Structure 1
Amino acid sequence: MILPWRKRRANKMNNKQLCDGLDVEVMIPTHFQCPISLDLMKDPVTLCTGITYDRESIERWIEAGNETCPVTKQVSKTFDLIPNHILRRFIQDWCVENRSHGVERIPTPRVPVSPYQVSEACSRIVDATQRGDGNKCGELVKKIKNWGKESERNKRCVVENGTGCSLSATFESFASVSLEKHMNLLREILSVLSWFFPLGEEGRSKLVSESSLHCIIWFLRNGDLSSRQNAILVLKELLYSDETHVISKTLLEIEEVVETLVHLIKEPISPTATKASLMAIYYLITSMVSNGKITSRFLEMGLVPVIVEIIVEAEKSVCEKALAVLDAICNTEKGKEEAYKNALIMPVLVKKILRVSNSATELSLSIFWKLCKNEIMKDEESAIIDAIQLGAFQKLLVILQVGCGETTKEKVTKLLKLLNVYKNRVDCVDSSMDFKYLKRPF
């Protein structure tokens, strides 16, 4: 195999004395190439069949469910990967010999963490927690965190060997003792816990306790940017699996929860945190225990204008989640009233139909229908006429033409009937709609 390496500058000599831009083709020895990827091996490992592969390539092969050696086709009872240190040193020496041609020396790989090492670390964390030794727990948590940072393989090994349950128990234990005293430890645990969802029932039971939830909310309000993001990711996942609504009940009793979540989307720290915050708000609003009370609290904090502003310019994923929150808000009469008060609501909804995704279109239609059929609003006629002038009627017709689900079709048909009553009252209908999303018949 021939691989071109660009000759790099060896020093800061005059450019005229350098062969700058010269392409030099260097032959990679065949026995240095991985039989799977045909690339230079960075971490050569040998199977029981005697064939050597690059670790990353053979691990992908095994994880795909293959039970044979890729080269010999022999069925293997064991896939123990034995590091080939001698071959790796030969590869590194070859890289050094060809460094003048731009070949970089491969670093000495770290030995992947084993399930035994992870289980041993978990046992030591449990023991240190029972003794109340926060310092020792902190050392072990950092060790686990560093394992995960080294490679995705290590992270999977950590996740699959009971670490989440141990860390959840440690988090609850020290959160109930003193948040201020063990703040650093609790922060580190939160940063690792974001890897582990969905957690097992035992691990969840520790994180949904009152002391754990109070600690998570504290980090949402007072933590640094990283801690706040980790806290909202953990809270979102807990609410997602909150089938018994225990978490929602507890959160409703914690002060400033609503204010904190609204602040996270009003002053975003990252797209990841914004999406997690929107989903947490959605789960709270749609919770069976809220009875509209939690929605009222969100409305008092000005959630509707914040959500509408997000929808205007947000990327696809954030837009869909924001629309889902707005749709949930409009399930209450007070929510629909607040939505009607916002001058941007109709323009935004009409604009997002057929513009973002099928999910965003369906959510926009759902909100549109809830607002249009709101009988208590005195300015219903004005709002519907505004929607027609913005091109809603044409877009609804297009949805029927391009095809949609039965539920959406029924909703669109009802909307068309409703809008048709007011259509003749509109002096000027916006017909400058973009039809590029329509499939051509040829």
Structure 2
Amino acid sequence: MTIPHVFRCPISLDLFEDPVTLCTGQTYDRSSIEKWLGTGNLICPVTMQKLHDPSIVPNHTLRHLIHQWLQLGPPFHPGNSATIDSLAALKHTLQSQEDDTLENKLQVLEKINVFFSGEYSSFSRSCFVQLGFLPLLLELVFRGGTIEESHAVSNNDRMKFIEIALGCIVKLLHLGYDLEALNIIKDDESKLATFVVLFEKGTISVKSSLCHIIESASSSETTQELCYVFGNTQKLMHEIVLVLVQNCDASEDAVKAILALCSLNSNRESLVREGAIEGIITYISMISSSSGNEITQIRGQNKKLLTSIAMGIAVKLLELESGRETLVSHPNGVDTLVKLVFSVKCDQDCSDSAVEALSIVCGDYISAREQAIGAGVMTKLLLLMQSHCATTTKSKTRMLLKLLKSKWVQVPK
């Protein structure tokens, strides 16, 4: 039975017995790499990169994959072996310095996309994971000078490469890849700087993919520090808010990324400071508009869900005094909340969040109570009480009505 190339140690060329991985992402058999390091060689045998960290980590995924292959024995489908070798060859081309041309790398990415477009077996998914495509693509996209100007590559071609590579990264993340690989973005200032520049100057597709990466980073404990770094990078937060209000395809991804960033309390102050409250108000107005604008046409089927997500963000940001002050001082802030209390354009969760948000600001600001009453909130609250809303929503509505009625006859201050 022919041993797939990727199952052989690059040093001994024998089948892995105890596969371990270096900080470069390359995997070797433990005995072989320990002998190599033991002679004082502090470089990776395959990539020839200097090892800033000589520690080795067991590659359990590859071990499992080899075990699965051995269990299948001679009946092992030859197509699986071909898949392994094909993916290994594609990875080799991507990381090769000798073939480091844009054309070669673009061709490789197109072939990877072909793999993604087909039906995936668990074996194929394991191959993508254990071959280390995610760390490699992250390195290619975010390292300084990924496609060097010295290669005489036009900006459009460079961006095309980044678009496709980021699309592959997002697909790999959806395969359930270990998110810890994303931490290379925070561990290297130049990579974080590249991330921000791409968010600022990239295409809509690039910005959309970067939003997906932010959302993924916020979903795992292993990348919580990266989520914090994202949330406290001023320029990045500013750019995300700009995408939110640009009325484009990436706006939906931006609102989801902002909600994900709000999972950390420490990020919320930064979001408020960079205009997230104003952005949310503008965004809600856009997707609630019936004028037939671009975002209404493209995302119409998701309008209620997106409005609910935006209101969820608003509630989280209103926990901060700076968030409450910003919303109350915004000319359309309170009015926007009132419109969402009872509307055919939002669902029950959205109404619940609108009532909660109004309760927060009306409890602290007399001016907010006056604005809400002037915008007709009492009628909307009574209609909401008569609807089939949840018990918790009705309870919040009663409390807000009680608060507003107690101030009904107060002389404005």
Q: 270, 284, 298: which one pairs with 1:297? A: 270
Q: Does the alignment pair 1:312 with 2:302?
A: no
Q: 139, 148, 154: which one pairs with 1:173? A: 139
Q: 5 Å matches for 1:78-93?
A: none
TM-score using structure 1 length: 0.59
Task: Return 5+ residue gaps in structure 2 as ranges.
Answer: 1-78, 152-157, 288-302
Q: 5 Å matches for 1:220-239?
A: 220-239=199-218
1:241 offset after TM fit, Å?
3.4
- State whether residues 159 and 196 of structure 1, in contact with CA within 8 Å, keep that contact through their aligned partners in structure 2: no
- State whether residues 236 and 277 of structure 1, in contact with CA within 8 Å, keep that contact through their aligned partners in structure 2: no
Q: Which residue of 2 aligns with 1:17?
A: none
Q: 5 Å matches for 1:211-360?
A: 211=188, 213-242=192-221, 245-252=224-231, 254=233, 256-270=235-249, 273-288=250-265, 290=266, 294-314=267-287, 315-355=303-343, 356-360=346-350
Q: Which residue of 2 aligns with 1:390?
A: 375
TM-score using structure 2 length: 0.63
Q: 5 Å matches for 1:164-203?
A: 166-174=132-140, 175-176=142-143, 178-181=145-148, 183=158, 185-202=161-178
Q: Which residue of 1 aligns with 2:112?
A: 144
CA offsets 1:206-226 (integer angstroms, 9 cap, x no match): 223124554433321222232
1:424 offset after TM fit, Å?
4.8
> CA-atom RMSD, angstroms?
3.1
1:242 offset after TM fit, Å?
5.0
Q: Which has the higher contact order (CA 8 A, sep 6+)?
A: 2
Q: Which residue of 2 aligns with 1:423?
A: 408
- State whether residues 304 and 338 of structure 1, in contact with CA within 8 Å, keep that contact through their aligned partners in structure 2: yes
Q: How many residues are aligned here? A: 298
Q: 173, 179, 184: which one pairs with 1:209? A: 184
CA distance in 1, matches of 2:221, 2:349: 24
CA distance in 1, matches of 2:135, 2:355: 45
Compare the two structures and name the one with the higher helix fraction: 2
Which has the higher Rg, Structure 1 or Structure 2?
1
- 1:309 aligns to what SS in structure 2? helix
Task: Calculate percent identity across the aligned residue pairs.
Answer: 17
CA offsets 1:393-442 (integer angstroms, 9 cap, x no match): 2322333333433432321221121112133569xxxxxxxxxxxxxxxx
Q: 5 Å matches for 1:61-140?
A: 118-129=83-94, 131-132=96-97, 133-135=99-101, 136-140=104-108
- State whether residues 144 and 194 of structure 2, in contact with CA within 8 Å, keep that contact through their aligned partners in structure 1: no
- State whether residues 277 and 326 of structure 2, in contact with CA within 8 Å, keep that contact through their aligned partners in structure 1: yes
Q: CA 1:365/1:117 → structure 2, altered by over 3 Å: closer, same or farther?
A: farther
Q: Which amino acid aligns with 1:329?
A: L
CA offsets 1:260-289 (integer angstroms, 9 cap, x no match): 11121232431xx1121112222223314x
- 2:248 aligns to what SS in structure 1? coil
- 2:173 aligns to what SS in structure 1? coil
CA distance in 2, matches of 1:260, 1:156: 38
Q: Which amino acid aligns with 1:207?
A: L
CA distance in 1, matches of 2:229, 2:279: 25
CA distance in 2, matches of 1:199, 1:213: 24
CA offsets 1:374-394 (integer angstroms, 9 cap, x no match): 2xx4xx1x4213322333223
Q: Which amino acid aligns with 1:409?
A: K
Q: Which residue of 1 aligns with 2:353?
A: 363
CA distance in 2, matches of 1:216, 1:308: 27
CA distance in 1, matches of 2:349, 2:139: 42
Q: Which amino acid aligns with 1:279?
A: K
Q: CA 1:266/1:231 → structure 2, altered by over 3 Å: closer, same or farther?
A: same
CA offsets 1:165-187 (integer angstroms, 9 cap, x no match): 63312123333463342956444
Q: Which residue of 2 aligns with 1:402?
A: 387
CA distance in 1, matches of 2:245, 2:211: 14
Q: Which residue of 2 aligns with 1:85?
A: none
Q: Which amino acid aligns with 1:302?
A: G
Q: Which residue of 2 aligns with 1:372?
A: 362
Q: Which amino acid aligns with 1:216?
A: F
CA distance in 1, matches of 2:248, 2:80: 35
CA distance in 2, matches of 1:159, 1:368: 50
- State whether residues 215 and 261 of structure 2, in contact with CA within 8 Å, keep that contact through their aligned partners in structure 1: no
CA distance in 2, matches of 1:258, 1:206: 22
Q: Which amino acid aligns with 1:384?
A: R
Q: Which residue of 2 aligns with 1:430?
A: none
CA distance in 2, matches of 1:180, 1:130: 13
CA distance in 2, matches of 1:415, 1:218: 44
- State whether residues 353 and 395 of structure 1, in contact with CA within 8 Å, keep that contact through their aligned partners in structure 2: yes
- State whether residues 115 and 157 of structure 1, in contact with CA within 8 Å, keep that contact through their aligned partners in structure 2: no
